[in-house]
Amino acid sequence: METIAPIAVPASITDPASFGFAPCEGGICAAEGIKAAGVHAGFRADPNRRDLALVAADQTCVCAATFTQNRFCAAPVQVSRERSANGRARAVILNSGNANASTGDPGVKNAIASAALVAEALGCDEQDVLVASTGVIGVQIPMAPYETGVPVAVDALAHSAVAAHHAARAVMTTDTVAKEVSLAGPVACGADGAEVNVHVGGFVKGSGMIMPNMATMLCVLATDAPLTAAAAKKALSAAVRQTFNKVTVDSDTSTNDTCILLATGAAGGEAIGERHPMRLREPRPQDRSRWRGCHQARHGRRGRCRNRRGR
């Protein structure tokens, strides 16, 4: 039998290990200053299925967001796109079971009203609450699940891996597993360049209607790194371009795609601006060439895959 030796694929510039980051516990709650909850509110008939997620910072913090490029965007996207433009947020409320898409002005009013319920419960400004929905399109979203579910979700808020997992499960639709990640690593943002240990965590849902320019995807990320609003926006946009915007399953672009980053700054250290040396950059021409070589080798074509040292 012919022996086929595996090829060594070098780490890409988006590999967390290349920045000194490693997996840690906590999900989205790995970031200090972040709490989460996932409860059953009634968007779904099954009482054992969580359908309302809440992610809240201890106080209003830096935020950045990217959204679907579909011109027929859902009501929650319209609301959150406008509110996130100022680079500040306190909380994100998400539901599954109803997308609140193709619902016209009533849908927008319901999205605003759902955020108002969260703001009242948390004691913050309504403009600091972002909204996201996923599920059935073309059906007006009921307010009753928000009215009963938001107080329960606020009471359930906790800074724990369990709470993070409950939130991740609450946004699932056709997903077969909850999708979560959390990482920790050093960043030079202390006085005189001293390193500060920061955390990044989050969850995402999406398994169908996946096409470049995101997908039927709701994603919430959180970090305790002291990012400026400009740096958060630039980093998130660059990361989304290199990841979510390159995934295709069935060539459909959704109405509800939303990716939100909250940055609490609770890790301490000096503010990280756009020109921080650890900033995420776009692939260089040599990176693209090297990745094409790996692709050709992986598919049996002639070519070699080398790392930066030529091995």
**From the candidates 68, 216, 223, 253, which is the catalytic residue?**
216
Length of the chain: 311
DSSP characters for 41-76?
-SSSS-TTS--EEEEEEEEEEEEEEEE---SS--HH
Quick one: 60 exposed, middle or buried, by C-beta within 10 A (0-12, 13-18, 19+)? middle
Element (H, E) at 94: strand 88-98
Q: Can you point out the beta strands (E) in 113-252? A: 129-136, 179-188, 195-205, 218-223
The CA-to-CA distance between both ends of the chain, in Å, stands at: 27
Pick from 288, 179, 173, 271: which is nearest to 231 by CA? 271
* Distance of alpha carbon 284 from alpha carbon 282, whole angstroms: 6
In this structure, what DSSP letter does residue 28 have? G
- Note if 66 is an active site residue: no
Name the nearest CA neighbour of 130 among 77, 192, 176: 77
- How many CB atoms within 10 Å of residue 122? 19
> Which residues are catalytic, by number?
216
